Amino acid sequence: MQWKTLKTKDNVVAFQSRNNTPKKSCRPRIASEDTDALAESPEMPEFYPITDKIIESALHNSYLGVSTTCPEAKDFENESLYDGEVLEQNVMENAKPENASMIFCTGSIPGTVEDAALGFLADTEARTRKRVSKCTEAAVSDVKILTSIQGPSFEDPFRFFGVKWLTLSALSAVKYFVKPRDFLILESSGMALDSNGERFCYLLVHSIILDEVPEFGRFALMRQTMSACHIIRPRNVNEVEVFSRGFTGSVGGLAERLYLNLYCDGMMAVPKMIEEAYSRKLVLMAAEVFIQLRFLSGKHSILVRVAVTKSTEVLGYYSTTQYAFCVDTPSAESAVKRILSPEVSGSKKLTEIALKFCLKCYLAAKSLSAWEVGLNSLSVTEPE
């Protein structure tokens, strides 16, 4: 397979596969309201045939691990499964629409595996809306978690496995020419150990078909198919390697180019997800200081999680001050401005509050343990 460079952003490079099939001389027909032809929808992908037992046995543990001593692992090392053509045949060919282009992204960015796992985690509708809004140039109209098969726990605060349905609309004047898209996806995120015992985190998203969730063409929605796999591995201290690969279904014409660009932006959004993890750390740090202030004023709070559930109240309190909870007033040059989004369940509008922090407080928040932040915000959302 041949690849061409598509774009570069935030030290991440995106490549698009070249279509080696000869082009037809006639102009392809573009689907319209009067046609019944639909883009091919992907079925559930097949797993790697030899590693099924490895995955099955690993899922018994909360923290995934693969033993290098098991016979299946040896077979995996000895077999030629690393060959790109075999992987493409076993997994992608049965899921990818015929004319869909593969997108591959890679790069090295600042952060840790735990920070990326915290940024990947979207176990609630509010967190899903926030993650998608931060990572794409599209408006998130609606988000529903249809089923949560496995959620985060105190043993593993980054784990999520469930089915989601969401709708995206183009921004600006493009929305008048391109219909909104809806997605029915199976999503899995968390941390794992490879065969060498090295930690990595992952985010897997794949379109599925459910009889209970048909296409909503009569509501002016077009079902978009896609698949994405993000793998984050440690490179150096506070630096990780990003490997992302996937495809999006063809919908024809301008919409195809538009949503391919949106899909590519989403594939390259791992740095934004890590930044969102830093924002969650700032919210937790703000909640801790808020509790201390309430304690000094006689209004006692027992748990930090109580303040996190009232993140709108916390951030609203700090928005009235010049530099949030900073003790020292920094110079304008050293101030760090961050836009934080409290998690509000049931709300279809993303609430954003702009705050200023001194560099010292900002770096202190970034150094907080992502694991502890995940534990302190287990499925915490605000009531409406």
Which residue(s) pair with 227 in the sheet? 206, 247
User: Residues with Cβ < 8 Å from 191, sequence gap 6 or more?
Assistant: 63, 64, 113, 114, 117, 156, 158, 159, 199, 200, 201, 202
Q: What CA–CA distance (Å, rounded) separates 118 from 104?
A: 23
- CA 134 to CA 168: how far, in whole Å? 13
- The percent helix, strand, coil of the chain (3-state, each to 5) is 30, 25, 40
**How many CB atoms are located within 10 Å of the residue 116 CB?**
31
Residues 3-17+38-269, CATH architecture: 2-Layer Sandwich (3.30)
Distance, in Å, from the CA atom of 185 to the CA atom of 143, rounded to the nearest integer, reads 11
- By C-alpha distance, which of 41, 5, 9 is closest to 214? 41
Given phi > 0 = left and psi -120 to 50 = alpha, else beta, which region is 253?
left
**DSSP helix/strand/coil, 49:** coil
What's the pLDDT score for residue 384?
40
First to last CA, the chain: 50
Q: What pLDDT shows up at residue 13?
A: 93
E-strand ranges in the chain read: 3-9, 12-17, 102-110, 138-150, 160-170, 181-193, 199-207, 222-223, 226-236, 239-248, 335-340, 353-358
Residue 10, phi then psi, degrees to nearest 5: 55, 40
Q: How far is CA 118 from the centre of its chain?
A: 10
Residues 6+ apart with CB under 8 A from 185: 163, 164, 165, 166, 205, 206, 207, 208, 226
Q: Tokens 């794409």 sit at which residue?
A: 136
CB 176 within 8 A of CB 193: no
Distance CA 274, CA 11 (A): 14
Q: Any idea what DSSP says for residue 382? A: B
Three-state secondary structure string covering 69-109 = CCHHHHHHHHCCCCCHHHHHHHHHCCCCCCCCCEEEEEEEE
| Average pLDDT per block of 10 residues along the chain, 384 residues long | 86 83 48 39 37 41 41 44 48 66 92 95 91 85 93 91 92 76 94 90 94 88 90 93 88 66 88 91 76 50 41 50 55 72 64 75 87 79 42
Contacts 24+ apart (CB under 8 A), 375-378: 375/154, 375/157, 376/284, 376/304, 376/305, 376/308, 377/280, 377/284, 377/305, 377/308, 378/152, 378/153, 378/154, 378/157, 378/305
**Could you tell me the residue ranges of all domains in the chain?**
3-17+38-269, 277-376
Whole-angstrom Cα distance, residue 276 to residue 111?
12
Handedness of CA 371, 62, 121, 265 (dihedral sign): positive
Task: For the beta carbon of residue 211, count every other beta carbon within 10 angstroms.
Answer: 5
